[in-house]
Amino acid sequence: MEAILWLLLPVFTATGSALLAYLVMQARLEVAVAQERQALAEAQAAIRSQDRMIEERLRAVEEETRRRSLDEFLADIRVEERHYVKESRSLFLNQKSMVLQERLYFRNIPLSDWVSHEFTLEEGGDIRALAKACSVFARASLGKGDGKARKLLES
């Protein structure tokens, strides 16, 4: 029995050592895998943040390009305007009126026909001020407008 014990003791020792070495190596492997996963997660986070930053820059460039192209387009649009005074005479009434005609152009291409408006003039009225205030394509008439244009129209 003692001989068998001396034969099995090295086998148990070797098995225990192998089991211990396996567990230590498994723990080291888990630590290495955890470090690699952490490095991978950091790299993925950096890539995601760069992707977001690139997308934001791309949107900003697209918006600026749209703004520039719209500004260039609007710079090529102009308004041609002409006005003249027309007198209509009847038996008892002599009436002066100003006819204002406007047309939109894109470069040299007309975008609209002549838009005509006729305004009656009072004695001593300023024709140029009335023409500017009553313009269809003027900024004041496109927005809310100011009181000057309304006053000139009412008079």
**How many CA atoms does the CB half-sphere of 67 hold within 13 Å?**
6
Query: DSSP secondary-structure letter at 137?
Result: S
pLDDT of residue 149: 41
pLDDT digits (tens, 9 = 90+) for 35-47: 999 999 999 999 9
Measure the CA–CA gap between 106 and 110, rounded to whole angstroms.
6
pLDDT digits (tens, 9 = 90+) for 13-34: 999 999 999 999 999 999 999 9
Task: Answer left, alpha or beta for residue 53, where phi above 0 means left and psi between -120 and 50 means alpha.
Answer: alpha
CA-nearest of 91, 87, 98 to 134 is: 98
The pLDDT of residue 61 is above 50? yes
- Token reading at 33: 């895998």
